Amino acid sequence: MKSLIQALTQIPGPSGYENEIRVAVRAEIETYADEIRVDALGNLIARKASSAATPSGKRIMLSAHMDEIGVIVTHIDENGFIRFSNLGGVYPRYSPAGRVRFLNGAAGVIDTEKITNLQHVPPINEMFIDVGASSRADCPVQVGDVAVFERAFSEMGERLVSKAMDDRVSVALLITALQRLQNSPHEIYFVFSVQEEVGIRGAATAAFGIEPDLGLAVDVTRTGDTPKSITMEVSLGKGPAIKVKDSGMIADPRVVNWMVERAQADEIPYQLEVLERGSTDARAIQLSRAGVPAGCISIPCRYVHSPSEMIDLGDVENALRLLLGLLQNSIEL
């Protein structure tokens, strides 16, 4: 999946502007799905019919979000400097000296107003983007234009680093699962969702329309394995994490046990995840209509919401093994 992850992370797709990444994903899955559609909000939904329908077969929704964090122009001054706001969780500490690329191709670099306290990280409203303009008139962008962070894909042994690993690594995983899935007693909906970074919006409308019996999100999660980091029992290279709880949802214990039992049966390394800040598409699936049993497979990721998010390729491959094992067998919760 390495080349696919690399290709997907380099495609711009901030929240609300996922068209280019949606086109790329559709090209990868077109010949593998029984039905493909795009809903009103922009979710790409691919249905894979059951190969051998059984009474225990379920309608399963899988969801990985296509959007990435970005910025949006709010004001341009007389000298062509741009003030901006965030699209999703843009952390001020990662922003100064960062480069951005607008959807119209214009490039920019982020800097800050004069810093008087070196121990203080300026907020976004004290930052600006320099696009090389000398006046408002020759600025190549306008108010409302959006951009994503620009950072090349890099390999460090089995570790892969790029912007937008959140959540293109999971998009790549779902694409590969759809391509490799041969036999399943379940009707499976592969949802490549939109606007997750600004409020888990796409998964909410998709789940309402699909009415699944069971839902699984695939997303990244933080780690606790760097020097003096947060206290968290998730590390790179120790397998996919099975979510128990995050700040937006408590995973259905039956779903957690089902995933743990499959991982143990297939001798797949796994970790248990309790994330104290952040949530995923599973939250929206769980709360859809009258409620849905839901859980999440998480890919450990260092430096989440930075332009240099790091994942371990082995964790992704083991997450794929786990997902295929779950989908190819009967489910009794």
| Tens-digit pLDDT profile for residues 231-282 | 999 999 999 999 999 999 999 999 999 999 999 999 999 999 999 999 999 9
CATH 2.40.30.40 domain span(s) along the chain: 70-149
Phi, psi of 176 (to 5 degrees): -65, -40
- Cβ neighbour number for residue 265 with a 10 Å cutoff: 10
Structure tokens at 28: 């990868």
Q: How many helices (H) and strands (E) does the chain have?
A: 7, 17
- Lowest average pLDDT, out of 87-96, 115-124, 143-152, 273-282, goes to 115-124
Spatial contact of 331 and 262, defined as CB atoms under 8 Å apart: no
pLDDT at residue 53 above 70?
no
| Tens-digit pLDDT profile for residues 280-312 | 999 999 999 999 999 999 999 999 999 999 999
CATH level 3 topology of 2-68+163-328: Aminopeptidase (3.40.630)
- Lowest average pLDDT, out of 1-5, 113-117, 151-155, goes to 113-117
The catalytic residue positions are 196
CA dihedral 206, 208, 212, 217 (to 10 degrees): 40
Those residues with Cβ within 8 angstroms of residue 309's Cβ, 6 or more apart along the chain or in another chain:
161, 162, 163, 164, 165, 166, 220, 301, 302, 303
Residue whose C-alpha is closest to residue 146's, from 194, 105, 202, 96: 105
| Tens-digit pLDDT profile for residues 207-236 | 999 999 999 999 999 999 999 999 999 999
8-state DSSP, 68: B
Proportion of the chain above pLDDT 70, given as a percent: 100
Mean pLDDT of 302-326: 97
| Alpha-carbon distances, residue 195 vs 42, 61, 63, 91, 294 (angstroms) | 9, 17, 12, 18, 19
Spatial contact of 98 and 90, defined as CB atoms under 8 Å apart: no
Residue whose C-alpha is closest to residue 246's, from 281, 196, 270: 281
Name the CATH superfamily, with its identifier, for domain 70-149.
Peptidase M42, domain 2 (2.40.30.40)
CB neighbour burial string for 44-69, b if at least 16 within 10 angstroms, e if fewer: bbbbbebeeeeeebbbbbbbbbbbbb
Residue whose C-alpha is closest to residue 172's, from 187, 162, 182: 162
- Mean pLDDT (the chain) is 96
8-state DSSP, 96: T
pLDDT at 54: 73
Hey, what amino acid is at 69?
I
pLDDT at 116: 85
| Tens-digit pLDDT profile for residues 159-170 | 999 999 999 999
Mean pLDDT of 22-50: 96
Residue whose C-alpha is closest to residue 126's, from 116, 140, 137, 139: 116
- Lowest average pLDDT, out of 24-33, 44-53, 320-329, goes to 44-53
| Tens-digit pLDDT profile for residues 170-189 | 999 999 999 999 889 999 99
C-alpha atoms less than 13 angstroms from C-alpha of 163 in its C-beta half-sphere:
23
